[in-house]
Chain A
Amino acid sequence: MIITIPKGKLMDESIKAFENAGFDLSISESRKLRIKNGDNEIIIARAMDVPFYVESYADLGICGTDVIKERNCDVMMPLQLKFGKCRLSLCAPKKYKLKDLNGKKIATKYPNLTSKFFKSHGIDVKIVHLSGSIELAPVMGMADAIVDIVQTGETIRENGLIELKKVMDVSAALIVNRLSYKLKFDEIRRIMDNMEVFNYEYE
């Protein structure tokens, strides 16, 4: 199996999930991004890139449902996991209501989801695509509001923003290459069953 593990916040729990599904990942402290381990190959990728690897090369991977929807890759998502829970939200200074944002600038790491969200509300906005520290954009006057991941809400409050509307609930999910899902159906079903047990025991 070729497995893609996301770097960052989801990495440790993703390794645990695969180990509970019967894989010996043995990822050491080395900086290698591609590790051969017996019949398995492990790729460590940026969370945002995991769907691309799974769509075109790997059999399996774990990443957030936000990333899967944003990237819109042709992959299967047969199992949502119980870690990595948070929400993607529209956050703005207190003076704004949703309809006030017509014609305004919205900073985000998620241009596709943001555009879809505002279109569904009939609001026309200009999207500013940033890759990190999104909360800074309104503070610096680069944008009027943001669409970003919210966990406890502390960071947005510290930057003078409030959570105006939830765009989507987010959790980690197992994603599978469409062809692998056919060719390795029984094996992937077994992995999913084991991960369901991991899910059950998670909380």
Chain B
Amino acid sequence: MMNPDIYLYRVIKGIRNTFDSFGYIEIFPEAVEKYSRSFSDGVPFVYANKFYLINPDITSRLILRNFSENTRIFYIYEKLSRSLESEIEAGLELINVNEEKSNIEILRILIKTLENLGIYDFKIDISVSNIFSGKIGKRNYEKIREYIKMNDFNAIKNSGIKKEYIDYVIKMLNSRGTDINVELLNNIKSAVNDDRIIIDPGTVRYFSYYSGLIFEIYSDDYFIGGGGNYKIKNSNGCGFSLNTLVLSKILRRL
């Protein structure tokens, strides 16, 4: 990243301009936080007998703070994995706004951000975080969560949970792109009205804080990012993050 990269520069500049044009304000997260179990990701280290994390996941940090109504923020920062691989993540969060409205606003901004970069060929798969646990119960869901993630139908069938639950899970995993009876998703799809949005109950987000809408964005060759809705204190937030290095690779090819 120390060498000049015109594509990465265009991506970051383009994202910043788009987020700014929608009235979002840039925040500058601290690189180091005192260790907390509530934070996702981040590189742990010890200094002067105290535990810290370098660059933990931003959303997991926001969840612990207080925000006023209609908070619109974005960030562009270097994310480090535990193996010290680095990527620049751009994220946007809409906090303390009615959940339905924020889902639609966030998806519209996401689409506009990619289009402003000249990227039109992408898809956004949407689902809801409790699409399985809401029907089969949390305990059963925990038992088969890994199998759902891998679409391991054999393991799901042999998991020992009730047959009607197995049938439901398999039906859902096979229903990508078809109409399913989930009002939230159907409403979002018709409100945003974009063919690139696809309902896929098999959509996976790895952070546990999601509650409600979840989505992932991808092009022909890459996963570009993802996001969703989450509970924050007594209200809710909705946001997404984009992998700028992946976007720069896509721009390079256009």
List residues of A whose CB falls within 8 A of some B CB: 75-80, 173, 176, 178-179, 181-183, 185, 189
Contacts and interface: CB of A to CB of B under 8 A. Distances in A.
Contacts of B123: 182-183
A185 B152 contact: no
Given A182-B123, A185-B176, A79 B153 contact: yes
A145 B123 CA distance: 50
Nearest to B204: A178
Contact of A76 (B150, B177, B200): B150
Contact of B152 (A77, A179, A181, A183): A77
B176 A76 contact: no
Interface residues of B, number: 16
Contact of B153 (A78, A178, A182): A78
A182 B218 contact: yes
B221 interface: yes
Given A78-B151, A79-B153, 14 more contacts: A77-B151, A77-B152, A78-B152, A78-B153, A79-B154, A179-B221, A179-B222, A179-B223, A182-B123, A182-B176, A182-B200, A182-B218, A185-B177, A189-B174
B164 interface: no
A124 to B, nearest CB: 23
A173 B154 CA distance: 10
A183 B121 CA distance: 12
B200 A75 contact: no
A185 B223 CA distance: 16
Contacts of A181: 151
Interface in B154-197: 154, 174, 176-177
B93 interface: no
Contacts of B153: 78-79
Contact of B150 (A77, A182, A183, A189): A77
A178 B206 CA distance: 14
A188 B103 CA distance: 31
Nearest to B147: A77
A76 B154 contact: no
Interface string B212-240: 00000010111100000000000000000
B99 interface: no
B151 A179 contact: no
24 contacts: A75-B150, A76-B150, A77-B150, A77-B152, A78-B150, A78-B152, A78-B153, A79-B154, A80-B152, A173-B154, A176-B151, A178-B223, A179-B218, A179-B221, A179-B222, A179-B223, A181-B151, A182-B125, A182-B176, A183-B123, A183-B220, A185-B176, A185-B177, A189-B174
A80 B223 CA distance: 26
A76 B200 CA distance: 15
A196 B232 CA distance: 45
Most buried by A among B125, B151, B177, B222: B151
A79 B125 CA distance: 23
- Residue from B123, B153, B154 with most neighbouring chain A CB atoms (10 Å): B154
A70 to B, nearest CB: 14
A181 B149 CA distance: 12
A176 B151 CA distance: 10
